[in-house]
Structure 1
Amino acid sequence: MGKLGFYFDMEACIGCRTCQMACKDKNNLDIDVLFRRVKSFETGVYPKPDAYNYSGSCNHCSDAKCVKGCPTGAMYYAEDGTVQHDNNKCIGCKYCVWNCPYGVPQYIEKKGVVEKCNSCKDLRDKGQNPACIDACIMRCLHFGDLDKLKQEYGMNLVSELPILPRASVTQPSLLVKAKSCSSDRNFREKEV
């Protein structure tokens, strides 16, 4: 098996946030905690405005700064190559939070530990998809072997966008079928 990761079809995403809510529900997250975030962006100006949505979570990076920054080994690479977190080893120091350029790990104050997207490893171990994948009404999210996802969805996929940190920093396990307007560096995040 090759490297596992997420595929996101930006062209199909309508920004409904169903994936975000499915993740929140599955992980029983408090109101202020999100492991998957859907954001909307605007580009261009009249008479040629444009917009796109981005659904992002942990990218299970090959060179994960959260893993490198964790002093206890709580943040680690699982056998399947995904980045996982062990609450029992976590001391709540937040080094992983500060090190992740994507802002993925989140300190859960009432638990005193950090948590993040684990790509629903418990569901995947049972042969199921992550909750966000099955919840997506537009079927624009997929999770699996990145090489197989490239074969299925085309080689013109990207893992770097102006709204994200440089891919060379962490080597994210992420493939995006991007809208052409998402390459515009003059973007504005829409308030929701």
Structure 2
Amino acid sequence: MGKQLAFYFEQKHCVGCKTCQIACKDKNDLAVGQLFRKVNEFEGGTYERKGAAVIPNIYAFWLSISCNHCVNPVCVEHCPTAALQKRSEDGIVYIEQDRCIGCQQCVNYCPYDAPQYNPATQKVGKCDFCRDLLSEGKAPACVSSCPLRVLDYGTLDVLRQKYGALNQTNGMPSADITQPALVITPHRDAISK
């Protein structure tokens, strides 16, 4: 395989504005209830009483996630019609819509909830890394729309050299399942202590 494209997410500075989610939904003209990129909030903590004072020990962080174009995509492995493909030149996982029969095997197997079934078309869709924009030399819609620039993309090797190899935080499935092509700079509360 050639280079493996990957997403980078600087979780520690994400404010959960969902601009990336909206840009993706708009670019792909998705139906109500369909999201190829999702921003989820995680919060928790406690309060501690010290005398008359109440000291907060609380946290909140966000996770912006789409298809991770995994190194070992289980969706591709379980697609009975080979509609799901992994491109050899860049590792992008995409769906050939004319081959999709809407069986939802990919939906059932993907640990990231990336493939989305559309009842109107009776087919499955998902993030395709904005292949059309990449072919024009442009960034994916989610990346270019982020006002805080916490999303980026590049080859997995380069992103790992630049930011490290962390590819999961709290709230995510085990990276061992599919080896997601994702690099994360975590929020301080998103890593188990």
TM-score by length of 2: 0.91
- Counterpart amino acid of 1:84? Y
| Structure possessing the higher radius of gyration over alpha carbons | 2
Aligned pairs, how many?
183
Structure 1 CA distance for aligned equivalents of residues 120 and 4 of structure 2: 34
Q: 1:163 aligns with which of 148, 153, 171?
A: 171
Q: 2:84 aligns with which of 67, 75, 89?
A: 75
Q: 2:154 aligns with which of 119, 128, 144?
A: 144
- Segments of structure 2 that go 5 or more residues without pairing to the other structure are 48-55
Alignment of 1:35-114 (within 5 A): 35-46=36-47, 47-79=56-88, 80-114=90-124
Cα root mean square deviation, aligned: 1.3
**Cα drift, residue 147 of structure 1:** 1.7
Structure 2 CA distance for aligned equivalents of residues 3 and 44 of structure 1: 38
Structure 2 CA distance for aligned equivalents of residues 45 and 2 of structure 1: 45
Structure 1 CA distance for aligned equivalents of residues 169 and 14 of structure 2: 16
- For residues 1-47 of structure 1, give each alpha carbon's deviation from its aligned partner in whole angstroms, at most 9, with x where no partner exists: 53111000011111000000000000001121100000111132122
Provide the residue aligned with 2:53 in structure 1. Answer: none
**Cα drift, residue 176 of structure 1:** 0.6
Q: 3-state SS of the aligned residue for 2:91?
A: coil
- Counterpart amino acid of 2:60? A
- Counterpart amino acid of 1:7? Y
- Counterpart amino acid of 1:56? I
Provide the residue aligned with 1:131 in structure 2. Answer: 141
**Would you say the 8 A contact 1:3–1:145 is kept in 2?**
yes
Structure 1 CA distance for aligned equivalents of residues 20 and 170 of structure 2: 22
Percent identity over the alignment? 43
Q: 3-state SS of the aligned residue for 2:20?
A: helix
Of 2-11 and 157-166, deviating more is: 157-166
TM-score by length of 1: 0.91
* Change in 2 beyond 3 A, CA 1:184/1:42: farther
Structure 2 CA distance for aligned equivalents of residues 115 and 13 of structure 1: 26
Structure 2 CA distance for aligned equivalents of residues 143 and 2 of structure 1: 13
Provide the residue aligned with 1:178 in structure 2. Answer: 186
**Would you say the 8 A contact 1:43–1:184 is kept in 2?**
no
User: Whose strand fraction is larger, Structure 1's or Structure 2's?
Assistant: 2
**Would you say the 8 A contact 2:13–2:187 is kept in 1?**
no
Q: 3-state SS of the aligned residue for 2:77?
A: helix
**Cα drift, residue 146 of structure 1:** 1.5
Structure 1 CA distance for aligned equivalents of residues 41 and 105 of structure 2: 28
Structure 2 CA distance for aligned equivalents of residues 151 and 68 of structure 1: 29
